Amino acid sequence: MLSFNTLIAVCLAYVVALFLIAFAADRRARQGKFGWLRSPLVYTLSLSIYCTAWTFYGAVGYAARSGLEFLTIYLGPTLVMVGWWWILRKLVRIGRSQRITSIADLISSRYGKSNLLGVIVTLMAVIGTTPYIALQLQSVTLSFAVFAGSAAPDKNATALWVAAGLALFTVLFGTRNLDANERHYGVVTAIAVEAVMKLFALLAVGVFVVWGVADGAGDILARIDASPIAGWELKPGRWVSLIFLSAVAFLTLPRMFQVMVVENADERHLSTASWAFPLYLMLMSLFVVPIAVVGLDLMPAGSNPDLFVLTLPLSQGREGLAMLSFLGGFSSATSMVIVAAIALSTMVSNHIVMPIWLSVARQGATVSGDVRQVVLTARRVSIAVILALGYAYYRVSGGGAALAAIGLISFVGVAQFLPALLGGIFWRGATRMGAAAGLLTGFGLWAYTLFLPSFGGSVILSAELLAQGPFGIGWLRPQALFGVSGMDPLVHALFWSLTLNTIAFCVISLASFPRPQERLQGAQFVNVFDHNPNAQGWVSGMAEAEDLLVMAQRILGPEQAQGLFSREAARQGKAGYLPDISPDFLQRLERELAGSVGAATGHAMIGQIVGGASVSVGDLMAVADETAQMMEYSSQLEAKSAELERTARQLREVNEKLTDLSVQKDAFLSQISHELRTPMTSIRAFSEIMREGGMTAAERAKYALIIHDETIRLTRLLDDLLDLSVLESGQVEMNMQTADLQDIIGRSVTSAGGDGCLAIHRDPVREQVVLVTDPDRLSQVFINLIANACKYCDAEQPELRIRVRSKGGNIEVDFVDNGTGIPAKSQPLIFEKFSRLGDQRAAGGAGLGLAISREIMANLGGSVIYLPGQGGAAFRVILPVDGAASTKSKP
Amino acid sequence: MSERRQPLFLERESYRQRRTTDAARLLPVLGFLALCLPILWGGEGGLLTSVGVIYLFGVWVVLIVVAMVLARRLRRIDAQQDAPD
């Protein structure tokens, strides 16, 4: 016989190994080296927490008592898994896209984030799971007792130690991560190891029984036929009901939901698990009947069949195998308790503790760091409380046979989630009221017809009540409701609770009207495959700031949002674009958002992202995108209308100018005909005179000179017109070179003969500027301006001041005379062709000079403008120093 | 979007895919019927546990194998559907 101390040592070593594995996995995940941590294999193995100690030990006991019926417990989940395309795929997708943290969260979130439903589901889950935890404690305690024999310490003490150890492990690895939605890699990996352990142990015992004790498969079949369970007493009602029940429980058990949906790292793992997990279940069940049969055969009458897995190897002197088997059972119990405690603690902290805490500490909601600490503490305390409850239940129930039946009773309890769950993900018409009504109805009936009677007569429900019904009303008897008697109590309870649950759920849903939030959530859940094709897991902390930034960018525009975030980060003394999510910052951000999308939406959006959102970020993005698109569209419209207005204004201006130009063109035509006609008239007249002959040589020479002069005038006029048209078309090549401004001005003054007709004041120092330009063309402009001053300055002692100064990259050359200047109304027209003002006498030009000057300056990259208010006619020539703009052609 | 421009043979492919998902939905129903079949067996002297074991585990194995084949095909389909279209 193994000594009890050896057992303890092996057990502790195993636990330490689990700790190390969990620790290593957690660290790997933390370093981002996921690898096999996120493999379909680990996912499949983690599902094995379905197989608890109730399976490991209990299945053999069940088979020894009721034959093949135990298989229903594993066939139901098999059907659910192979039918994953129906339900599981959708559940997992919803769980991932809505960042669901538990089954209570799923139901609460689906029905408009109703906290009422969260509380109901949480309480039901706790009530349904606590006995189950007690069952695990009992199995571990019993298995200890088997080994220890009479030397066993107090059973209660063993149970207490186990409960405390499990609480420690769960707190350490189940609440390390701040985010409930984050995966617990350490725990999941440890569970996967335990899954391998229990499968290996059970297979080892099975192989030993079939090929060690019996003579192979044929012999086993013969032994089955010879055993007390040779006849398969198939009870159709129970058979179908139990397959259905285990299938439902597989979906709704909080711990199954935890590993299947919450801890799911990749949706594709589900497709592998769809066949691999049924395979696991089949292997777990494979040797149950042989062990039961051989156990019944070999073990003394009256020994507990629930412990055959342990006692059979022991009785054959296989202590090592028994030890392995013990560890398998231990693994089954511990992994179930750990996951159940994590799932329940998440529910309790999220749906019970947090709402209470938030309503008590009102301002607390805005202090994000605080909340996280509160959540963590709440989870840790909840874990301890749940295990304490399990222990208390174990003590109260006395670890008797009542516990053995608790597995199925617990199943029926959690099965009450089914209508709300399936209705929630497939039926948009399901409402919060309907769900609450269904849950309460089902739960009440479960308690009344199954849970309370399970304590046995006179504990809670009196034997009289059980037999006669409350107040003697026969058709309200707990185990024969509405006169339905002769049904198996379990089937009876399952039938009534789920039927009335579903009816209440449907009828109240049809009769009530959902709130907007419910309808929104309903649409998102039911149409999850349309909404979120690529939902991603969501990490807190930095990711929240990032999500806020992404959202803000879509609403405010990238620059503004980034500016806002980086300013905020700078204010907090951080670099980059991601500030801490401080209340101040959120308030500011909300204000910014409210400016764009309205106060209510801004508030809701921030609230969604920051406070445990259940509308996914992706959906918010869609809304934000829509808003942004609408805003963009309307701003486009605005821009377009502004542009239209601008165009209209431009058109008006152009029209005015065109009208003016039309007048000018008329004037131009009459001018040009006049200009051409005058010399032509002279030429014709004098040439006629000369043709008549009879004149002196001196006269002829004089007339010829006149004709010659007139043709020169005509030629010059035509040259000017030609020059102008070339300049205007922009086809002229400027001969850019480095030149000295002083030289150009000097040359221009000389050419224009300015010194002769008016006094010219220059500023030689400032003129010393070197610039890149076309000197000939520039001097053409200067000559024109000087000549104009010469011609039109009406002062008695005409003067011309030439000022030079440089401004920015430009040189400004002003030509200011001391005449009366140009009247304001004529100023806009002086640069137009043939716009000679007033005095027609001014000879030598056809009024093209300024027009040509303007075109030259435009070609040189500068301009020439009239400068009003200088006490005389003043022109300013602006030209770039480097001639950079000179290459720019005219528009 | 891009799927629409695919040549005709993909139409047949997507038709196959649809039928594969139908098969995946049908599988648990057939499985349930198969598991309930022993209820109708009856017969003289009741059912034998040994027969039941062989039958039930046989159904189980078939379910697992078919599910494995379907899962392999469905994973491809799921990947395609999830691709941005």
d(CA A680, CA A707): 9
CB atoms A82 and B31 under 8 Å = yes
Judged against a pLDDT cut of 80, whether residue A322 lies above it is answered with: yes
Work out the angle between the directed axes of helices A406-415 and A432-446 (0-180°, nearest 10). 160
Put simply, whether B34 touches A (Cβ < 8 Å) is no
Query: What confidence tier does A180 reach under pLDDT thresholds 50, 70, 90?
Result: very low
Query: What confidence tier does A538 reach under pLDDT thresholds 50, 70, 90?
Result: very low
The confidence score (pLDDT) of residue A343 equals 87
The confidence score (pLDDT) of residue B44 equals 60
**What residue has token string 């799932």?**
A343
Q: Does the reported pTM lie above 0.90?
A: no
Locate the chain A residue with the closest alpha carbon to B31: A79
Query: What confidence tier does A837 reach under pLDDT thresholds 50, 70, 90?
Result: low
Domain limits for position B40: 2-82
Computed over every residue of chain B, the mean pLDDT equals: 77
CB atoms B24 and A85 under 8 Å = yes
Judged against a pLDDT cut of 80, whether residue A472 lies above it is answered with: no
B47: closest CA of chain A, how far (Å): 5
- DSSP code for A469: -
The confidence score (pLDDT) of residue B1 equals 42
Q: Are A395 and A155 in contact (CB under 8 A)?
A: no
Q: From the list B32, B39, B68, which residue is nearest A234 (CB)?
A: B39
If one counts the domains in chain B, the total is 1
Judged against a pLDDT cut of 80, whether residue B30 lies above it is answered with: yes
Q: pLDDT tens, A649-670?
A: 888 888 888 888 788 778 777 7
Angle value at C-alpha A825, between A821 and A831, nearest 5 degrees: 70
Q: Are A708 and A858 in contact (CB under 8 A)?
A: no
The radius of gyration computed from the CA coordinates of chain A, to the nearest angstrom, equals 49
Q: Which residues pair with A379 in a beta bridge?
A: none
Judged against a pLDDT cut of 70, whether residue A574 lies above it is answered with: yes
- Domains observed in chain A: 4-431+514-522 (1.20.1730.10), 542-615 (no CATH), 646-729 (1.10.287.130), 737-887 (3.30.565.10)
CB atoms B31 and A274 under 8 Å = no
Return the amino acid letter for A875.
Answer: F
Put simply, whether B37 touches A (Cβ < 8 Å) is no
Q: From the list A67, A81, A86, which residue is nearest B49 (CB)?
A: A67
**What residue has token string 């951000």?**
A589
- DSSP code for A350: I
Judged against a pLDDT cut of 80, whether residue A789 lies above it is answered with: yes
Q: pLDDT tens, A492-533?
A: 889 999 999 999 999 999 998 887 777 777 887 888 777 544
B55: closest CA of chain A, how far (Å): 11
Q: pLDDT tens, A252-295?
A: 999 999 889 888 888 888 888 999 999 999 999 999 999 998 88
**What residue has token string 């279940």?**
A281
d(CA A143, CA A149): 10
CB atoms B36 and A225 under 8 Å = no
Residues of B in contact with A240 (CB under 8 A): 36, 39
Locate the chain B residue with the closest alpha carbon to A274: B67
Put simply, whether B43 touches A (Cβ < 8 Å) is no
Reduced to 3 states (helix: H, G, I; strand: E, B; else coil), residue A543 is: helix
Put simply, whether B50 touches A (Cβ < 8 Å) is yes
Put simply, whether B28 touches A (Cβ < 8 Å) is yes
- For chain A, the residues whose C-beta falls within 8 A of a C-beta of chain B are 67-68, 71, 75, 78-86, 89, 221, 224-225, 227, 229-234, 236, 239-240, 243, 267-268, 271-272, 274-275, 278-279, 282, 286, 289, 529, 533-534
Q: Are A703 and A686 in contact (CB under 8 A)?
A: yes
A224: closest CA of chain B, how far (Å): 6
d(CA B36, CA B31): 9
Which of A517, A523, A524, A526 has its CA nearest to residue A432? A517
Q: What is the ipTM of this complex?
A: 0.87
Question: Which pair of tokens denotes residue A286?
Answer: 């494979």
A91: closest CA of chain B, how far (Å): 15
Put simply, whether B33 touches A (Cβ < 8 Å) is no
Q: From the list A229, A234, A275, which residue is nearest B71 (CB)?
A: A275
Computed over every residue of chain A, the mean pLDDT equals: 79
Mutate to test the interface with A, among B39, B49, B68 (most CBs of A within 10 A): B49
Judged against a pLDDT cut of 50, whether residue A890 lies above it is answered with: no
Q: pLDDT tens, A413-450?
A: 999 999 999 999 998 889 989 999 999 999 999 988 88
Question: Which pair of tokens denotes residue A298?
Answer: 């070999």
The confidence score (pLDDT) of residue B4 equals 46
User: How many inter-chain contacts (A to B, CB under 8 Å) are there?
Assistant: 118
CB atoms A85 and B25 under 8 Å = yes
CB atoms A533 and B82 under 8 Å = yes
Q: pLDDT tens, A367-400?
A: 444 555 677 788 889 899 999 998 888 887 765 6
The confidence score (pLDDT) of residue A531 equals 52
Locate the chain A residue with the closest alpha carbon to B74: A271
The confidence score (pLDDT) of residue A500 equals 93
Q: From the list A71, A236, A275, which residue is nearest B64 (CB)?
A: A275
